[in-house]
Structure formats: C-alpha cells, structure tokens
Amino acid sequence: MKDYIKHDPWKIIEEGFDPALNRISESLCSLGNGHMGQRGNFEESYSGDCLQGSYLAGVYYPDKTIVGWWKNGYPEYFAKVLNAPNWLGLSLRLNGNEIDLAKAEVIEFRRELDIKRGVLKRRVLLKSGKVLIELNSSRFVSMARPEIAAYRYSLRLIEGDGKLEISSFIDGNIHNEDANYDEYFWEHRGEGVDDDSLAVVLKTRKTDFTVATRTATLISHAGSFLAPENSSSRAGWAGRDYSAELSQGDEITIEKYVSCLTDRDHKADELLSKGKTALAAAVADGFDTLLAEQEEAWNSIWEHSDIAIEGDTAAQQGIRFNIFQLKQTYTGKDERLNIGPKGFTGEKYGGASYWDTEAYCLPFYLGTADPAIARQLLVYRHNHLAKAIENAGKLGFTDGAALYPMVTMNGEECHNEWEITFEEIHRNGAIAFGIYDYIRCTGDKDYLMPLGMEVLTGIARFWAQRVNWSEAKKKYVILGVTGPNEYENNVHNNWYTNYIASWCLRYTAECAEALAAEKPAEYKAMADSLKLDDAELARFRSISEQIYLPFDPERGIALQQDGYLDKEIAPVETLGEKDRPLNQNWSWDRILRSCYIKQADVLQGFFFFEDDFNDEELKRNFDFYEPLTVHESSLSPCVHTILAQSLGYEKKAYEMYLRTSRLDLDDYNNDTEDGCHITSMAGTWMSVVMGFGGLRHREGELYLNPALPSAWKGYSFMVMNGGEPLKVSVGKDGTVLENRGEKAMKVMMGRPGSAGALELAAGENRRV
Ligand code: BGC
C-alpha cells in the first residue's frame, strides 16, 4: 500500500516527484469525457518510465488470441483498448537541452487533479543546465464538447536566459504495451499541416476504425504570438516548430487545442473537415471559455451525484475520486458504449464490458442519473443477444440458448483464458439480475416486453442446457465452472453459480406467467416469436426447484463448491506479509489448491439475494468466508462492506470501505500503474449508499436505513427516487431528507419488511 497522495476533499495531490511512482500517478490523473480520455502523462517529452495513453471509446483492435493448445470454442481474439495518437506532443529545448523531468534537476513538483472541475494541473521548478525554470500546466478533456481537449502550458525563466526551441506535434506512431504479438495496430492514412493546424489520420487494422486527430497551438510571448518557423510531417506524425529568445523573468504560454473524431460518429471522408470546424470553434472561444464550460458541466454532475463526508478527509477523497472516474468514463450519451474496467486510465483488461456492469455499475447509474441511462445499459445487452446466442452455439448449446461473454466489445466473447471463457458462466446470471434490479428500482415493468423477456429466455435456455441430472445426488448439478472466486477453476457445483442459475430459471418463468396474465395478446405474440411455450416454462421451474445447492450441515453454511472443505482451511491472517497479494507471490498451482478466496463468492449470492436469507444465515456464512478472503479483486471489499454493515460489524464495514474507496489512491493491490479499477468504483458508491445508508429498492420503492460510521461526523448523498432527486444527510442527531424534485415522493424508512412509509412534498426538507 502506498500513501503518497495528500488527503484533500476535492483534489488528488502529489508533491515531490518520484519517478518510481509515475505510472501510478498517471493512472490516477487520467482525464476523460465518455468519448475519449488521456492518462496523466506529461505534456513535454519525458524519457523516464511512463505509460503513454490516449484512448477513444469504442475504438479497439482484435488482438489474435495467444494460447499454447488451441481448444474448440476459443475466441479468435482479445479486444484491446487501443492506444490512440498522442496529441500532447511537446518538445522544449532550452539552449539545446531537452526539458525532460527524467534528466533535469527537479526542485519542486506538484501534480494536482482537481476533481471538482475536471482539470489536471502541474507546477514544476527545475534546473535545465544553469537555468532555473518554472513550468505550469493545466488541461482538461471537455465534458461539454466531447471531441475537444485542451491544455495551457507556461514556462518562465526564473534565473538565467537562453533560446527556447519548441516543437508541438501529434504522434500516431504509438504502441500498446498490452499487445499479444507486439504489433502496430494502426495504418497511416495521412498527415498534414495547414495554416492553423496539424492533423494525423489513422485507421485501425482489421477493425477499420478511422480516427482523425487535429491540433492547433498558440504560443504567446511578450504580448504577441510566435510565428511558426517550420512545419513537417512524416508517416503518422505532424509537427510545427517555433523559437524564442528568453531573458530572465520572461514567460511563454502555449495553448494547445485538440479535436479527436472517429468514423463511429461521422463519415470517414468528413472527419478532417468536421474536426477542423470543431477545433476552430474551440480556438475561437478560447481556453478560458472552454474551462468555464468544463467547470459548469462538472458542477451539474456533482449536484446529482456528490457524496459529502464530514470528519474524514481520506474517506471523502476516496469516494469523490471514484465518482469522478465513473462519471468521466461513461456518460450515457452513446448507447453503443459500456463501462470498461479500466475506463480511459490504461490498456489492460481489454474489452468494454464485463459482468461488472450489471453487478456493480448499474446501481450507481440508477442512483445518480436519469433512469434512461440504466435502461440503455440493459438495451446494450439486448443488442448483443444474437451474438450471445452465437457464443453459446460455439460451445455446443442450441435452440436460442444465450451465453453472454465475459468480456466484449461488440457482443462476441473476447477473453482468451479457457477457465474464464468456458467456465465463468455465472456472468450470464448477472445480466438477468441487472434486468430484475432495474425493474425493482424503477418499477418499469414495460421493459420486460419484449426486450427483457428475450434476454431472460436466452439466458434461461442456457442454464436449462448447462445443468445435468445427477443420479447420485438426484438433483441437477452444474459441473466444471469457475465461480466469482477465480482462485479455483473447474470446480463442481459452485454454490453461487447454481443459486443464480436456479433464480434465473424461476424469474424467467415468473415474468412470463405474470405477463401472460396481464397482457395475454401481447404476451402470446412475443412467446410465439420466441417459441416459448408452457412446457418449456414448466421445465425451467422444475430445474430451478431441483438444482443442487451444496451445504455444510455442521457449520450451517452454503459450500462454495463440492470440494471446498477438502482444502486446508486457515484464515488469511495466518499468511505472511510476503505472501500478499497471492497472485504476485504464489504459483498459480498453489493458489488453486488453497482455500483463499479472491472476491465475494458465496457472499456475492448473499448480497444479491439478501431477502432469501435471515441474519443468522448471513452471519454464519460471513463469519466463515470473510476471514478466508484476500480481496484481491477490486470488486471484493465493497460487497463485504455492505454485508458487514447489515450484520452490525461496524469495524469490518469501515475497514472494507476504506479499502474499496482508496483502492487505487493507495494502490492496495499493487497494480494501479496499469490503470484504475473503474467498475469497482461503483462498488464504493454502493458501500456508502447501500452499506451505511441502507438504501434498497423493492417494487419501485426506495428504502433507507442510515447508520453513521463512528469515524465520521456526518455524510450526505444524492439518490434518484422515482426519477426525482432526494438528498439524504446523516448526522449524529439523525437523518435529514430533502426532496429536491418537483413531485411528492415516498420514502420507506427501515429495512424492507419492517419499514415505515413517509411522504415528502416537492422541495420538502424533513428530519427523521
Ligand atoms: C475479477 C472479475 C472481474 C474482472 C474485471 C477480475 O479480477 O475477478 O470478477 O469481472 O476482474 O473487473
């Protein structure tokens, strides 16, 4: 765990430059706007260790799968999030010496991500040769104009003087570190310079995405703009040179504007002209106007999604950082996109969507955005239904059975490890759970007919074929799976998988029966087109009721899988410091044989289906499994916070909360350098709102059961209730509810099953 980030409620601050931590800081300081993103790389050249990264949402490369032994059913490729042209490009040479923080004497350094406004700033005092220089930079990726980003960079000579040579460029000769065969993923389609701007056009190999990057640079010195001296271009690169004689005290200011357009949004042959128009408008409006727009856009995001925590700056910084990253990753403006686990902060993990979206992110968007955005995330999966049926077909399933991919860009499976692709099938359950969660939160049952039912039917058909009858057990079993705990593979009867499979079958049948009763004619038309009849629904029910759920009667707990108790059971606290994280210190063989659990597995089921279990059952399972859990998936601590809180384990809940909320800021899992864990950030939100706030939704109604962690003086959050914003403020002397909407709303105070209703008029503010 590293804790070099200064605690601050609205800023991520690093003081003093440690090159060994640079990649971590770059990940933390990533900026994005849903359309594109940029890691916190330096603008000026840097020859030290860094992960240069600019990304464009939805632009990917199908990198051919690497495996030793090809097995039928493998995906052909692992979709890589592509490193796109680097538009930051700035080379500064003072008296012939390149200004490069890896070589210069860095005297003072401060990198600051202002999450309130979405602006990354840096101030550096350094010596280049004998000259003392101050650098200041400020940049943003515009939330208001998704295809635009800009930075302002100033250089002042504090002591000494000299000739400054500047080159501002776009570099399309970029590589992915995460490339299976070290290939260059792009084709050059042209580069050029005109009076006002530079442009580079690239096209992805195989996927044929065309991307046009255009920049305009304005450099001012002593009240006037520097005239360019030379412009040049070569394959995938375009640049322009300037120079100035600077005396002690002189300052030059460089403003660089960029437009990044892709043919996902425009015709390929219009990219250059449209990019030019967008860029010219940005330049004409100027940096300060764009910055004001940026502040305004973030202001309105925070108004609907802020969580304020009093009395604990580390916790406050953690949650706001998480909300910031989520909101800049997925804005809901493009229904073809989803929430990749690394967002715009790195290349690793590839793909755009995992089960993380439904299991973790959906509640966040339901809570903090228009319900249409959550619905759109469901429609995304509906759009991929044909591909999910195709995926299942590749594995031998028939008759409309659908297996959603573990990782995808376009609906096709693109993860390349067999134990995940073939076995981690619980993901299919999460897709169905997302539909259920959306409906219980919004009450929008109309989603079921036909979109929801089409997806549910495909998923139920998969489970009905994936089970097999065990003569020995006289039950249906599910063999050869990997559960959420990826630290054991090819296990039989993973309790979580069996439970969610059984639930999917039952839920599908229940929804069908309810729709048949409510809207018989419409239902019949839909059922006919799905070829779904009563016999098939009866089969779903019958399998659901007879699925085997491993159970240990001695301890009274669900068994993670058939063979779990054969393992040597010893709590995580018996492990040494040097063992953790296991995945970086133990052989895979040792991990697989151990009892250690990567992330909530049985407990994920207790989280999803909490109404099916009483507190005693939850307590027995939590007390057994949590001490065996290493939380080496970022998705783990949040679920444990929520469960611990409902058991009244305040200390555990808080420990887990800090771990989830500061996972990247403190680099708990020693992997933030690859990028941030975006999807788990939604889990952090759930930890506060569902964990401490006790938020639940049942039948379209909102429940609250707030508790105040003793380390905090108070906290408040915003949540959508029936499409209207509700502010919940929890303090030592109770909870204040504020209906910030335009309609009256109902709030249930207490846990589902034992809560009392209250009505809040529009604008009403009430202490409860
Ligand atoms: C977790 C998966 C998750 C993936 C992406 C893995 O480490 O085990 O459950 O889907 O990360 O976040």
* 656-667 pLDDT per residue, tens: 999 899 999 999
Whole-prediction pTM: 0.96
Give the integer Cα–Cα distance in Å for 442 and 55: 33
How many distinct helices (H) and strands (E) make up the chain?
21, 33
What is the pLDDT, as a whole number, of residue 256?
A: 98
Coil, strand, or helix at residue 13? strand
pLDDT at 352: 84
Q: Whose structure tokens read 């006289």? A: 474
Residue 656 φ/ψ, nearest 5 degrees = -70, -35
Query: Distance between CA atoms of 461 and 121, rounded to whole angstroms?
Result: 53
Out of 43, 413, 486, 488, the active site residue is 486
**Mean pLDDT across 97-107:** 97
Ligand 1 midpoint to CA 643 (Å): 20
Q: Which residues contact 531 (CB under 8 A, 6 or more apart)?
A: 400
At 350 the pLDDT is 82
CA 648 to chain centre: 29
Q: Would you state the structure tokens that stand for residue 676, as one six-digit string?
A: 């941030």
Output the pLDDT for position 68.
84
What integer pLDDT is reported at residue 172 of this predicted model?
98
Give the residue, 501 or 352, on which the prediction is more confident: 501
Active site residue 486: yes
Over residues 327-342, mean pLDDT: 95
pLDDT at 353 (0 to 100): 94
Instruction: Find, among 281, 287, 229, 224, the residue nearest to 255 by Cα.
Output: 287
- The closest residue, in CA terms, to atom 8 on ligand 1 is 633
Mean of pLDDT values over 492-518: 98
Q: Which residues line ligand 1 (CB under 6 A)?
A: 341, 349, 354-356, 484, 486, 598-599, 633, 635, 679
CB burial string 310-345: b at 16+ within 10 A, e below: bebebbbbbbbbbbbbbbbbbbbebeebbbbbbbbb
Neighbours of 725 (CB within 10 A): 18
In this structure, how many other beta carbons lie within 10 angstroms of the beta carbon of residue 398?
Answer: 10
Contacts of 107 (CB under 8 A, 6+ apart): 125, 126, 127, 132
The ligand 1 atom nearest the CA atom of 484: 9
- Cα–Cα distance, 196 to 279 (Å, whole number): 10
State the Cα–Cα distance between residues 521 and 527, nearest whole angstrom: 10
Average pLDDT over residues 374-400: 97
User: What is the Å distance from ligand 1's center to 462 Cα?
Assistant: 22
**73 — pLDDT class (breaks 50, 70, 90):** confident
Q: What is the DSSP string of 301-324?
A: HHHHH-EEEES-HHHHHHHHHHHH
**CA 459 to ligand 1 centroid distance, Å:** 21
Position 191 scores a pLDDT of 96
Q: What spacing in Å lies between the alpha carbon of 354 and ligand 1's midpoint?
A: 8
Closest to 54 (Cα-Cα) out of 41, 73, 72, 70: 41
Q: What is the pLDDT of residues 594-622, one digit of tens each?
A: 999 999 999 999 999 999 999 999 999 99
579 φψ region: left (φ > 0), alpha (ψ -120 to 50), beta (else): alpha
Which of these, 451, 275, 479, 287, lies nearest to 378 by C-alpha position? 451
Helices 371-383/426-442 angle, 10° precision:
150
- Average pLDDT for 262-283: 98
**Lowest-pLDDT range of 75-79, 161-165, 462-466:** 75-79
Residue 635 Cα to ligand 1 midpoint, Å, equals: 7
Rounded percentage of the chain residues whose pLDDT exceeds 90: 96
Q: Which two tokens stand for residue 53?
A: 């990264």
| H or E element at residue 239 | strand 237-246
The token pair that represents 478 in the structure block: 């599910």
* Beta bridge pairs of residue 31: 38
Task: Give the Cα separation of 522 and 451 in Å (integer).
Answer: 13
pLDDT tens digit string along 557-589? 999 999 999 999 999 999 999 999 999 999 999
Q: Residue 669's pLDDT band (boundaries 50, 70, 90)?
A: confident
Mean pLDDT of the chain: 97
Residue nearest to atom 6 of ligand 1 (CA): 633
Residue 351 pLDDT > 80: no
Q: Hey, what are 66's tokens?
A: 């690497």
Q: How confident is the model at residue 647, as a pLDDT? A: 97
**Segment 491-505 mean pLDDT:** 99
Please tell me the residue having the least CA distance from ligand 1 atom 9: 484
Q: In the prediction, which pLDDT does 2 show?
A: 86
| pLDDT reading at 524 higher than 80 | yes
Ligand 1, closest atom to CA 349?
Answer: 5
Provide, rounded to the nearest whole percent, the portion of the chain with pLDDT above 70. Answer: 100
Query: Mean per-residue pLDDT for 631-657?
Result: 96
Q: What is the pLDDT of residue 79?
A: 92
